Structure 1
Amino acid sequence: MARRAAVPAGPVGDDFSFVSPVAKYVLFFFNLLFWMISMVMVAVGVYARLLKHAEAAVACLAVDPAILLIMVGVLTFLITFCGCVGSLRENICLLQVFSICLTIIFLLQLAAGVLGFVFSDKARGKVSEIINGAIVHYRDDLDLQNLIDFGQKEVTKGGLCRVGVAAGHPPRAGTPMCAVPRTPVCAVPSPCVLCPLCQAVINTMCGHGMQARGYLEASAFIHTNGCIDKLVNWTHSNLFLLGGI
């Protein structure tokens, strides 16, 4: 009777792996892609910080888009490094760190979404506080100014103009800051203005003196709907989309 060949007790070969090559290289490719993107984000953020004046940078450090870009870039770099090297080398430790980080981020996003709906009033107040803080430094930081202008044009369609006149503040024509008819401190940003000419050709003087006007009078020249209201309405209209994301 013929005998069976003995099966070696060790691994089949040096190239043997329990991990599917498709899953391995797909994970490696996407982590490598986001790893390179994160390095670009950090480089752009650092470059933007170095170009700014020191006094302006310190004054609006909490709302500086460059700082946010650097922080997100560094976090993404570290996480994708673990996923990239871990998948390529099949390093269990790095893959576990990568998995734990993604799980924590997912849970934080889920918790933030739930708490945002449960404590909607507090969340709305916090968002208003952040936006008001950014508006205070509108002229101090060009990056922040461009970000706010983009939000007014593309996202809220002039909704940030509520800070000032439409926020319920009374007309301030009698105060020193509005004593000069066209003083910039009594103005609103140019994207707030309804004037078609100002939309075609940017004129920073278009919004001057608007905060000295009453609500109804100003509504004929600028957008007076608040961005917070627009964001809340958009959120309520896209609950399923946000839940899927």
Structure 2
Amino acid sequence: MSGKHHHYKGPEVSCCVKYFLFGFNIIFWLLGASFLAIGLWAWAEKGVLSNISSITDLGGFDPVWLFMVVGAVMFILGFAGCIGALRENTHLLKFFSVFLGLIFFLELTAGILAFVFKDWIKDQLNLFINNNVKAYRDDIDLQNLIDFAQEYWSCCGAHGPNDWNLNIYFNCTDMNPSRERCGVPFSCCVKDPAEDVLNTQCGYDVRLKMELDQQSFIYTKGCVGQFEKWLQDNLIVVAGIFVGVALLQIFGICLAQNLVSDIKAVKANW
């Protein structure tokens, strides 16, 4: 009598898929936690009451909220993916894949709408920048964001330097007692390579000069036009980033669905 035993080997959960999905999501989980922690820390530093009141103010955009929203979404998705894969929990895995699919669909829809309504988007971008120009001195994070944008894209205001008339500190009215009257922020200034120390007063009174003379001191092109030019010049890179993000999302959905199918197949043989 033979001592060999034949064992039936049923379906199994793929360890490669399981732990790859776990590793794939733990990175996003940690990144989401970091963004959320930075956002909450900045929110606490500014004061809870001031930030609650800023929610109702649609004129200004607070970058802290961007960190918090992105961080919260990444944290929730990463958590669902990690725990779902590790514990072989089909509910969490389905939540992960559906949520990720919804985000992918929203991104795709936004991309199509942005192409179809590009003129409307441009008008909204003008409005958005001008609203934030008005709130420039109200929030330090917003101020830093505008300064970064104007320096990076070598621009000033939405359409040009005169957009800074919208800000109470920079407008040219006779009633304005500010030393920055008829000026622009330092981030609008053309940088002198010979200067080692940043001159934060370089934009004072510059809009009192003739427009041709202003070009020697500040950027005279608007940020909307400069941003459009930057997009055209870097179209391949921008498109590559969007395609890469989309492929990562599709890959994550496929992994989660594959793992769900394996778990269901194993449970069906119990």
TM over 0.5, yes or no? yes
CA distance in 2, matches of 1:110, 1:147: 27
Structure 2: which 5+ residue stretches go unaligned?
A: 166-170, 243-270
Are 2:221 and 1:231 aligned? no
Partner residue, 2:99? 101
2:218 to 203, 218, 222: 222
State the one-letter code of the partner of 2:203.
G
2:19 to 22, 25, 29: 25
- CA shift, 1:198, in A, is 9.2
- CA shift, 1:186, in A, is 3.1
- CA shift, 1:165, in A, is 2.9
CA distance in 2, matches of 1:68, 1:22: 35
CA distance in 1, matches of 2:208, 2:231: 32
Q: Return the structure number with greater relative CO, CA threshold 8 A, min gap 6.
A: 2
Partner residue, 1:35? 29
Q: Cα–Cα, structure 1 residues 167 and 144, in superposed 2: closer, same or farther, change >3 Å?
A: closer
Equivalent residue of 1:203, what SS? coil
CA distance in 2, matches of 1:32, 1:79: 10
Partner residue, 1:139? 137
State the one-letter code of the partner of 1:176.
M
State the one-letter code of the partner of 2:25.
N
Equivalent residue of 2:16, what SS? helix
State the one-letter code of the partner of 1:49.
W
Q: Is the 8 A contact 1:190 1:198 kept in 2?
A: no
Equivalent residue of 2:224, what SS? helix
Q: Cα–Cα, structure 1 residues 214 and 59, in superposed 2: closer, same or farther, change >3 Å?
A: farther
Are 2:45 and 1:51 aligned? yes
Partner residue, 2:175? 176
Question: What's the TM-score once normalised by structure 1's chain length?
Answer: 0.80
- CA shift, 1:56, in A, is 5.3
Question: What's the TM-score once normalised by structure 2's chain length?
Answer: 0.73
CA distance in 2, matches of 1:57, 1:187: 29
- CA shift, 1:110, in A, is 1.5
Give the percent of matched residue pairs that are identical in Structure 1 and Structure 2.
Answer: 33
Aligned length: 232
CA distance in 1, matches of 2:225, 2:133: 17
